[in-house]
Structure 1
Amino acid sequence: MSKKKAIGIGLLAVITTLSLVACGKEPTSNPSSSSSPAAKELEPATISLFYSSAPPKVKLEESEYGKQILSKLKVTLNTEYVSKDASTREGVLVSSNDYPDLIIPQSNSQENSGLGLFLKAKALIPLDDLIEKYGKNIKKWYPGNELDKYKKDGKLYTLPLQPGYENPSTVGSGYWIQEAVLKDAGWPKIKTFDEYFALLEKYRAKYPQIGGKDTIGYSFQSEGYKFDWLTNQGAYLSGYRDDGGFMIDVNGKKATAKQVAGSDVQKQHMQKMNEYFSKGLVDQEGFVDKIDQWKAKMSSGRVLGYYGGTTEMGSINDALTKQGLDDRRFVYIPLVFKDGIQEKYWGSVVPNVNAGIGISKSAKNPERIMQFLDGLMSEEIMTLRQWGVKDVDYTIGSDGKNTVTPEQIELYRDADKRNAKGFPSYNLFPQIPSSKTFSNGSVYSISLTKEYISTNFTNSDKEYLKAYGYTYFSDAFKKQDSPYGAAYTVNITGDSDAGKANTKRNDIVRTYIPKMLLAKPADFNKIWDEYVAKLKDANMKPLEDYISNAITKRLEEGRQTD
């Protein structure tokens, strides 16, 4: 995934995405009997909140369970939502030096907006002492030094909103292929890039048209950050993880970053792509299609393969099923250049340390506000936030864990009913990492249960999973966590030597990659040599050194983020 993608997700994703936060089993750090503070222990309080994004369809204060939560915690919540131009509103707040009690800024660490702006203005107070005194639930979910990664200059100013979401059935990206192609070939185990394209080529020759239109062996996108998915595949095929435009080699606590652009592995990949393009196997319109055109093409059933993330693939697969093209749904697999290379497509999701909620210096009673935040993280209220009400939204299984019946799954799938209860809006507040479970061993969300996940599988999906002996699509991959997170999360300022080199590199790559793909095979090496010469003249050393030092610092400090 590119850095632009990470930025693009932003805080707008908090409402819709974080309702899926899940937990893996880690009994040693789970609250065993944590509950909400008794009402008699709390004085009624009115708390103001600034949220730098548009409101959910049903606000917490207006939702069925949201009202219950606020009543239990004896809080009246006054929230200001910013529907557009959050940066301007944040700037006005900072200029006024008068803040609401709680602030959820944009998840941006730069000093001109978002969290970085509020930290520079010293608008947020440190939470460390307040948590020590009033944060019993917070400390149970985040024991020891688990909150250290969210600290700035040695102090904690926000509680996490995006601590890392792990869905056992989902991998970030991979090589997509139609289930029909695999079935037609007898469900082969595909490991290499060449095997993959040989399979696509064979199927395309056998079925030159699908739905009355020419079959496309392999498609790609080139809009925005998705251009990087075309340019960086050589690194993934060589066993490197997704670090944007870099390949990171680690030796102990020292990291060395080399750019993918101009590398031997990029040449190997692009030369193969040029060969397949010249054969007509690769989509001839990949550089001109807009995203809607590409999605329509993918949803037609005539595209056999693609490399990329999961963002659009869910809706594409749904569209295929609705058209009666269930067997043309896509699944993803990991590929390498040659057998024996260990793929690294799947690792734990790195928490967004800049997405958080903090107490402002204008708050008159920060102690009471911390009691509110801690109460929101009690097991009783966390269960209500993510599971709902027992025997209504979920049941207790024979193993003592939370589970859902088919009827409850359908209830959860009803977006209007889910919104009315307030599930998405709860996630304006602190979240729990996916490594945690509730005291009864339950995962953190309905949507992360086997029962719920399996209902998403169609007949064709089930046939694929059975053929390979998988429970989830992710079983095709080997999970390997990164000790340093991802290089694409390193902040590079545009006016620095590294930033200037980064801009030059991106411009050169954007210019030459299309030339390489579209060229006659006989002209490929000439274009490649011109490309490498341009990169050399642009001097990429400041950029590589900057990334190397940033990742080395993370390794030395045991952090996955800056």
Structure 2
Amino acid sequence: MKSTKLALSLFILFLLGAFLVGCSNESENTSTEGEGEGEEYSAENPLTLSFYSEDGAEKSFDDPVAQAITEKTGIKLDMQYPVGGNEETVPLMIASGDYPDLIFAKGDISKLIEAGGVIKLDDLIEEKGDNLKAMYGDQLDCLRNTIDDPSIYTVGTYGVEGAYWSTSGSFQIQLDVLRELGYPEIKTLEDFEAALTEYYEKYPEIDGQKTLPLSLLGSDWRWLITVGDPAAAVAGIPGDGQWAINDDTGEATYKFLLPELKEYFKWLNGMNDKGLLDSESFTHTYDTYISKLSSGRVLSIADQDWNIGDADKALVADGKEWRTYAPLPVTLGEEYVSQGLKDYGFAGGWGIAISSTSEHQEEAFEFLDWMASEEAQILTNWGIEGENYDIVDGERVMKEEDRERMNNDPDYSKETGVGYYVYPFPQWGNGAVDSNGQPITPNSEEDIINNFNTAEKEVLEEYQMENWIDWFPPTEELGVSNHGQAFNYSIQSGSELEIIQQKADDLTEQRITQAILGDPAEFDAAWESMIEELEAMNIEKANEEMTQKTKDVMELWGTN
């Protein structure tokens, strides 16, 4: 009886599938037809595509730029974000087989590929991806998955062209520290510590609160960017996540094995012992951390600009421009070269995929292809002509009010949509120009310089510089990466590399935190114990696997 019911069920499913395929063939799945037969997608009758993004905060697709996107494409997005933590959402999708139409899964894309949850885009790109082909050009191979499966599953996330007019992720110091100390030259950790110490001794309190010479955020995933990444940066190691990679040979080493990183964390341990490190650096929440920065009492940080943007805007809005920060090319010693302006090229990897269960795969693709068009790039970067920018002497000029809000209002992008839909969608990138030779983004170097606050301009003038990047080794001298950035690689789910690295990451975060907060006399022993634990979990095997992975990427891209 059970087998009879099963056979009947399968037959019904077969008929239903054949019916749906027939409907699909009749409609041709074009983005011009509506959900009702004979109707067209429009702002009044849009097709709603569900879109899951691993990044971002809850938001509806109803701001002015979103409305303009719908008017031009007939597409509306149902924005969905992680519930219960980033690590749980994609596995839950896979377990349920319930996928949104569009998925930005970041590093979890490999899990979706292996589960058959997303489709290959190669044929669609060839048949109807004119905008994507024009945007990626000879960088299209960088979108390919692996050397064993050289298919394209995702598009977007990073700009194809890059212009290095600013840096992010370096040590940063308050402008008032530089002013108070007579604009010293700060190149090494020793210089950096000396400046913080001198200022802290003069001003143990700021606005009635205890001064914090250095604050980090090591209580959540941001441990990676405020604790782990700066350790490699001061050693002149390019940003490859948890790896140090020889760009000529592809040889990869789990970076926490390197003696240079031990030297940095030993310095950090000393900073903690001297009372120069915020004692809550590994326990406070993100909101508390931002609140501390916004108060103006944190003298220095080691963080990404995108992570502290709200604090920076709050300081300016509160009239505390001298409490904002200047980036520094700090290294362990003058023999090391800061990689702050390193050009990693277009690295592909992460991006937006189309689910295998979507009933609107072609429409979803056509939408992504339109997002790569010049029209879309201008709209998403600049906003709406007459509302956010004007045409002056044939050139786009951001309205003063929008420019002011863009720099000082943390809610500007979310409320207006200007800049909000650039990432993680396909983007031309800073430095790209449109068909009229105009910048495709409002982030030209001239604009960056003009947007510096008055305190920044005064400090730059004292150092005889126009831009903070003048402090850093120029991009041209650092060369272009042959392998992109290792943190962006698609690592097979359940592979030895994934398992060992996850164990190693969990271990190093715990042990390094303990070592930083421990007795300086016990630091060496704590570090050696950690190295022994890494070796016991066969970290050398992970090194070998990542080395092969890097070599495969270079072969796939033709850069080996």
Residue identity opposite 2:389 in structure 1: Y
234-243 or 59-68, which moves further after superposition?
A: 59-68
SS of equivalent residue, structure 1 residue 306? strand
What CA distance in whole angstroms lies between the structure 2 residues aligned with 1:395 and 1:445?
Answer: 14
Partner of residue 140 from structure 2, selected from 124, 134, 147: 147
Unaligned runs of 5+ in 1: 1-36, 71-75
SS of equivalent residue, structure 2 residue 214? strand
Q: Residues 106 and 113 of structure 1 are in contact (CA less than 8 Å); yes or no, is this contact kept in structure 2? A: no
What CA distance in whole angstroms lies between the structure 2 residues aligned with 1:365 and 1:518?
Answer: 52
Q: Residues 158 and 357 of structure 1 are in contact (CA less than 8 Å); yes or no, is this contact kept in structure 2? A: yes
Partner of residue 241 from structure 2, selected from 235, 240, 244: 244
How far the C-alpha of 1:194 sits from its partner, in A, is: 0.7
Q: In the alignment, what sits opposite 2:303?
A: 308
SS of equivalent residue, structure 1 residue 51? strand
What CA distance in whole angstroms lies between the structure 2 residues aligned with 1:132 and 1:395?
Answer: 36
Q: Residues 394 and 404 of structure 1 are in contact (CA less than 8 Å); yes or no, is this contact kept in structure 2? A: yes
Match status 1:541 vs 2:540: yes
What CA distance in whole angstroms lies between the structure 1 residues aligned with 2:454 and 2:109?
Answer: 51
Q: In the alignment, what sits opposite 2:69?
A: 66
Q: Residues 443 and 269 from structure 1, CA distance in 2 versus in 1: closer, same or farther, beyond 3 angstroms?
A: same
Residue identity opposite 1:402 in structure 2: R
Q: In the alignment, what sits opposite 1:21?
A: none
SS of equivalent residue, structure 1 residue 431? coil
How far the C-alpha of 1:485 sits from its partner, in A, is: 1.9
How far the C-alpha of 1:373 sits from its partner, in A, is: 5.7
How far the C-alpha of 1:203 sits from its partner, in A, is: 1.4
Q: Residues 196 and 363 from structure 1, CA distance in 2 versus in 1: closer, same or farther, beyond 3 angstroms?
A: same
Q: Residues 306 and 407 from structure 1, CA distance in 2 versus in 1: closer, same or farther, beyond 3 angstroms?
A: closer
What CA distance in whole angstroms lies between the structure 2 residues aligned with 1:150 and 1:418?
Answer: 29
Q: In the alignment, what sits opposite 1:29?
A: none
Deviation per CA, 1:500-530: give whole Å up to 9, x if none: 4334433442443234323333333333333
Q: Residues 401 and 440 of structure 1 are in contact (CA less than 8 Å); yes or no, is this contact kept in structure 2? A: no
Unaligned runs of 5+ in 2: 1-30, 33-37, 42-46, 84-88
How far the C-alpha of 1:104 sits from its partner, in A, is: 1.3
Q: In the alignment, what sits opposite 1:105?
A: 103
Residue identity opposite 1:497 in structure 2: E
How far the C-alpha of 1:45 sits from its partner, in A, is: 4.2
Q: Residues 160 and 427 of structure 2 are in contact (CA less than 8 Å); yes or no, is this contact kept in structure 1? A: no
Residue identity opposite 2:49 in structure 1: L
Residue identity opposite 2:139 in structure 1: E
What CA distance in whole angstroms lies between the structure 1 residues aligned with 2:70 and 2:555?
Answer: 46
SS of equivalent residue, structure 1 residue 180? helix
* TM-score (norm: length of structure 2): 0.75
SS of equivalent residue, structure 2 residue 49? strand
What CA distance in whole angstroms lies between the structure 2 residues aligned with 1:454 and 1:426?
Answer: 22
How far the C-alpha of 1:333 sits from its partner, in A, is: 1.0
5 Å-filtered alignment, 1:257-268, equals 257-268=252-263
What CA distance in whole angstroms lies between the structure 2 residues aligned with 1:164 and 1:303?
Answer: 36
Partner of residue 279 from structure 2, selected from 277, 280, 284: 284
Residue identity opposite 2:500 in structure 1: A
Deviation per CA, 1:51-103: give whole Å up to 9, x if none: 22588434489955235413xxxxx43655546666489559957xxx99xx3
What CA distance in whole angstroms lies between the structure 2 residues aligned with 1:291 and 1:380?
Answer: 37
328-337 or 175-184, which moves further after superposition?
A: 328-337
Partner of residue 294 from structure 1, selected from 265, 289, 296: 289
Q: In the alignment, what sits opposite 2:49?
A: 49
What CA distance in whole angstroms lies between the structure 1 residues aligned with 2:67 and 2:245?
Answer: 49
Count residues with an aligned counterpart: 501
Residue identity opposite 1:147 in structure 2: L
Q: Residues 218 and 281 of structure 2 are in contact (CA less than 8 Å); yes or no, is this contact kept in structure 1? A: yes
SS of equivalent residue, structure 2 residue 299? strand
How far the C-alpha of 1:186 sits from its partner, in A, is: 1.9
Match status 1:438 vs 2:427: no
Residue identity opposite 1:66 in structure 2: I
Match status 1:387 vs 2:390: no
What CA distance in whole angstroms lies between the structure 2 residues aligned with 1:507 and 1:48?
Answer: 40
The sequence identity of aligned pairs, in percent, is 23
5 Å-filtered alignment, 1:370-449, equals 374=369, 377-398=372-393, 400-407=394-401, 409=403, 419=415, 424=420, 430-434=426-430, 436-446=432-442, 448-449=443-444
SS of equivalent residue, structure 1 residue 173? coil
Q: In the alignment, what sits opposite 1:555?
A: 554
SS of equivalent residue, structure 1 residue 105? strand
* TM-score (norm: length of structure 1): 0.75
Q: Residues 529 and 133 from structure 1, CA distance in 2 versus in 1: closer, same or farther, beyond 3 angstroms?
A: closer
Q: Residues 418 and 173 from structure 1, CA distance in 2 versus in 1: closer, same or farther, beyond 3 angstroms?
A: closer
Partner of residue 315 from structure 2, selected from 301, 317, 320: 320
Q: Residues 69 and 381 of structure 1 are in contact (CA less than 8 Å); yes or no, is this contact kept in structure 2? A: no
Residue identity opposite 1:150 in structure 2: L
How far the C-alpha of 1:453 sits from its partner, in A, is: 3.7
Q: Residues 108 and 114 of structure 1 are in contact (CA less than 8 Å); yes or no, is this contact kept in structure 2? A: no
SS of equivalent residue, structure 1 residue 255? coil
Q: In the alignment, what sits opposite 2:214?
A: 218
What CA distance in whole angstroms lies between the structure 1 residues aligned with 2:441 and 2:343?
Answer: 18
Q: Residues 60 and 67 of structure 1 are in contact (CA less than 8 Å); yes or no, is this contact kept in structure 2? A: no
How far the C-alpha of 1:247 sits from its partner, in A, is: 1.8
How far the C-alpha of 1:425 sits from its partner, in A, is: 5.7
SS of equivalent residue, structure 2 residue 438? coil
Match status 1:525 vs 2:521: no
SS of equivalent residue, structure 1 residue 344? coil
SS of equivalent residue, structure 1 residue 275? helix
Q: Residues 125 and 114 from structure 1, CA distance in 2 versus in 1: closer, same or farther, beyond 3 angstroms?
A: closer
Q: In the alignment, what sits opposite 2:352?
A: 356
Q: Residues 421 and 292 from structure 1, CA distance in 2 versus in 1: closer, same or farther, beyond 3 angstroms?
A: closer
What CA distance in whole angstroms lies between the structure 2 residues aligned with 1:62 and 1:175?
Answer: 35
What CA distance in whole angstroms lies between the structure 2 residues aligned with 1:318 and 1:347?
Answer: 27
Q: In the alignment, what sits opposite 2:192?
A: 196
Residue identity opposite 2:136 in structure 1: Y
How far the C-alpha of 1:452 sits from its partner, in A, is: 5.2
Match status 1:516 vs 2:515: yes
What CA distance in whole angstroms lies between the structure 1 residues aligned with 2:413 and 2:304?
Answer: 30
